[in-house]
Amino acid sequence: MKKLVLRTLAALILTPTLAFVVFPFAKTAWYLVTDTGLRSAAPSTFAFNLHASLSRRLPGYVDERIASGVAETLKVNQITATESPVYGAFFYLLATENLQAQWEADPTLSRRPPKETGKDAIEACTRIILDPGHAHWVRTYWGDDYLDDPNCFYRMLVIGSLAAHHHLTGKTEHLPILKQLTADLAADIDASPYGLVDDYPSQCFPADVVAGIAMIRRADPSRAEWARKAFHRMMENFPGQLPPYMAIAETGEAWGPSRGCTNGFFFSYARDLDPAAADALYGKLVTDFWQVNRLAAGWREFPNDGNHPDSYIDADSGPVIWGFGTGATGLGIGSTRIHGDHEKAGMLGAEMLAGSIPLPDGSLLLPLMVSDLEHAPHFAETVILHQLSLSGGGEPMRRAPLTGAVWLILGVELVLGILLLRLVRHLFRRSRSRIDCPPLPA
Residue 307's identity, in one-letter code, is N
Give how far Cα 170 sits from Cα of 52, 115, 123, 163, 174, Å.
Answer: 21, 11, 12, 10, 11
Instruction: Find the radius of gyration of the CA atoms of the chain.
Output: 24
Query: Does the CA dihedral 397-400-401-407 come out positive or negative?
Result: negative
The HSE-up count of residue 42 (CA atoms within 13 Å, CB side) is 17
Residue 280's identity, in one-letter code, is A
Quick one: which of 334, 346, 362 has its CA closest to 37?
A: 346
Give how far Cα 75 sits from Cα of 83, 119, 373, Å.
Answer: 11, 32, 17
pLDDT band at 433 (very low <50, low <70, confident <90, very high): low
Phi, psi of 291 (to 5 degrees): -140, 135
Q: How far apart are CA 178 and CA 170, in angstroms?
A: 14
pLDDT recorded at residue 439: 60
Kindly report the average pLDDT of the chain as a whole number. Answer: 94
Q: How far apart are CA 189 and CA 197, in angstroms?
A: 6
Coil, helix or strand at residue 290: strand
pLDDT band at 428 (very low <50, low <70, confident <90, very high): confident
pLDDT recorded at residue 436: 52
pLDDT recorded at residue 6: 81
Helix (H) or strand (E) holding 246: strand 246-247
pLDDT recorded at residue 408: 97
- For 379-411, how does the pLDDT look when each residue is reduced to its tens digit (9 = 90+)? 999 999 999 999 986 778 788 999 999 999 999
Q: How far apart are CA 384 and CA 382, in angstroms?
A: 5
Query: Does the CA dihedral 389-393-399-403 come out positive or negative?
Result: negative
Under 8 Å between Cβ of 7 and 427: yes
Q: In this model, does residue 442 exceed pLDDT 60?
A: no
Under 8 Å between Cβ of 38 and 44: yes
Q: In this model, does residue 52 exceed pLDDT 70?
A: yes
- For 329-343, how does the pLDDT look when each residue is reduced to its tens digit (9 = 90+)? 999 999 999 999 999
pLDDT band at 72 (very low <50, low <70, confident <90, very high): very high
Between residues 433 and 290, which one has the greater pLDDT? 290
pLDDT recorded at residue 441: 60
Q: How far apart are CA 119 and CA 182, in angstroms?
A: 25
Q: How far apart are CA 187 and CA 180, in angstroms?
A: 11
Quick one: which of 61, 163, 146 has its CA closest to 371?
A: 61
Which domains, ranges and CATH numbers included, belong to the chain?
37-398 (1.50.10)
- For 163-198, how does the pLDDT look when each residue is reduced to its tens digit (9 = 90+)? 999 999 999 999 999 999 999 999 999 999 999 999
Please tell me the pTM assigned to this model.
0.94
pLDDT recorded at residue 125: 98
Coil, helix or strand at residue 292: strand
- For 20-47, how does the pLDDT look when each residue is reduced to its tens digit (9 = 90+)? 999 999 999 999 999 999 999 999 999 9
pLDDT band at 427 (very low <50, low <70, confident <90, very high): confident
User: Average pLDDT of 1-19?
Assistant: 87
pLDDT recorded at residue 440: 55
Give how far Cα 274 sits from Cα of 267, 278, 317, 375, 389, Å.
Answer: 11, 6, 27, 36, 20
Quick one: which of 55, 57, 51, 66 has its CA closest to 375?
A: 66
Q: In this model, does residue 438 exceed pLDDT 90?
A: no
pLDDT recorded at residue 148: 86
Residue burial 78-110, b: 16+ Cβ < 10 Å; e: rest: ebbbbbbbbbbbbbbbbbbbbbbebbeeeeebb
pLDDT more than 70, % of the chain = 97
- For 116-132, how does the pLDDT look when each residue is reduced to its tens digit (9 = 90+)? 999 999 999 999 999 99
Helix (H) or strand (E) holding 211: helix 206-219
Q: Which residues pair with 203 in a beta bridge?
A: 200
Q: Quick count: other Cβ atoms within 10 Å of Cβ 411?
A: 11
pLDDT band at 316 (very low <50, low <70, confident <90, very high): confident
pLDDT band at 437 (very low <50, low <70, confident <90, very high): low
The residues, any chain, with a CB within 8 Å of residue 321's CB and separated by 6 or more, are: 310, 311
pLDDT recorded at residue 272: 94
pLDDT recorded at residue 282: 97
Give how far Cα 193 sits from Cα of 183, 196, 232, 253, 272, Å.
Answer: 18, 8, 13, 12, 23
DSSP, res 70:
G
pLDDT band at 309 (very low <50, low <70, confident <90, very high): confident
Q: Quick count: other Cβ atoms within 10 Å of Cβ 119?
A: 17
Under 8 Å between Cβ of 420 and 31: no
DSSP, res 256:
S
- For 234-257, how does the pLDDT look when each residue is reduced to its tens digit (9 = 90+)? 999 999 999 999 999 999 999 989
Q: Quick count: other Cβ atoms within 10 Å of Cβ 317?
A: 19
User: Average pLDDT of 310-323?
Assistant: 89
